[in-house]
Structure 1
Amino acid sequence: MTLAMIITISVPLIILIYMLKVLLAHRTEVTSMNGMVVAMSIGMVIGLLGGGILGVAFQSIFFATFLSMILGLIIGGIYGALCSTFAMIDGMLSGMMAGMMGVMLINMITPSYYEIMIKILFVITVIVLIILMFSLCHELKLYQSFAYRLIKNVGVVMFFLLILVFMYEHSGPLFNHIHEHQTEHHEHE
């Protein structure tokens, strides 16, 4: 596993764990509509990113689609179940659909664009999760929480995102086997 892949997985995971902690502590205060938005948003961005990564990692489209659908279904379902049954259903279905779309997206583009597409999906995922975290803290009136105070300062968020993108861009390739294949292809020409 490359450093870029570790960043791709760990940054959303850290945000998701913090959001899970907030939801567990305040689950009775979250309205049904907010719970549905949280579950659908998380299921969608994790399903897309996971589907993209699995679509590149596995040669079998069927296997990658199946795993990414399960990933989106589980993540969306967990966050939805914390709020209501309808939110759980919404999260599961949007996660499942996004998992399929992530694999389809990767299979529609040429291999030379795999890395940039995963990086774009990563940035979108992080931005959506940060906005969702801010909105959830604001809705729950958690004005003194670390996440709310950090995210409320736009300069800090922009600095964090710039550092993250810079680190991410200079952390090497996401997938070793793609670069090995492209290097072999160029040597034969």
Structure 2
Amino acid sequence: MTIGFAIMIIVSYNLFLYLFSIVLNYRKELLIMEAVCVAMSIGMAVGLVLGSYFGFIFHDDLFLSTLVSIGLGGSLGLVLGLPCSLPASIDGFLSGVMGGMMGAMLGAMLPLDDWSMMLKILFLLQTGLMILMIVYLTKKYIPASSLTPHSFKKLLLFSFVLFVGIAAAIFPTNLTIQQNDHNDPKHEQHP
């Protein structure tokens, strides 16, 4: 396992726990629609990433990868919606199931050369979504006395730096742009 994948696992775990703690602490104040939105989006994103990962790990066994992905994605969506309401937990579960199923199919169909980059892209989308949910819930539910406009700007800046830092850590830095050589005889124009 590379350092990029270790970073992905640690960041996902910590962001999920932090988001779950916000949902747990403010479950009585959360509107049902907000709880449903959080559970569905995070269930879908996590299910998609886990599904892609297990689709690659169990590349030859689509049934097993789909089963594991559906179970984990659905469970995480259910857990995130459970403290708030029954509709949030049902929607979180179903979105996690759908994300796990789609991710397993994607992981099984991708060529081995493209799998790593796709997983990193999906992880970056999942991380951005989790950070966005954390910022939204923090802005709306943290008491105004403890969250000044200055501290909220710091939170936004920290979130942006965290997102860019994660992107820089998991994507290769030695990308080169290929230039066409117009003097190459293979690229001569035909009359």
With structure 1 as the length reference, what TM-score do the two structures score? 0.81
Q: CA deviation at 1:142?
A: 4.3
**Which consecutive residues of structure 1, in runs of 5 or more, have no partner in the other structure?**
172-189
List aligned pairs for 1:8-157, cutoff 5 A.
Answer: 8-59=8-59, 60-142=61-143, 144=146, 149=151, 153-157=155-159
Q: Deviations over 1:36-88 (max 9, x none)?
A: 00110110000000001111112311111100000111000011111100110
Q: 1:78 to 1:150 in 2, by over 3 A?
A: same
Q: CA deviation at 1:152?
A: 5.7
CA distance in 2, matches of 1:150, 1:51: 34
Q: CA deviation at 1:34?
A: 0.6
**Which consecutive residues of structure 2, in runs of 5 or more, have no partner in the other structure?**
174-191
CA distance in 2, matches of 1:117, 1:149: 35
- RMSD of Structure 2 on Structure 1 (CA): 2.3
Q: CA deviation at 1:27?
A: 1.1
> Bigger radius of gyration, 1 or 2?
2
Q: CA deviation at 1:149?
A: 4.0
What secondary structure does 2:88 align onto? helix
CA distance in 1, matches of 2:62, 2:19: 31
CA distance in 2, matches of 1:9, 1:46: 11
- If each structure's helix is expressed as a fraction of its own residues, which one has the higher value? 1
| Residue type at the aligned position of 1:20 | F
Percent of pairs with identical residues = 32
With structure 2 as the length reference, what TM-score do the two structures score? 0.81
Equivalences, count: 170
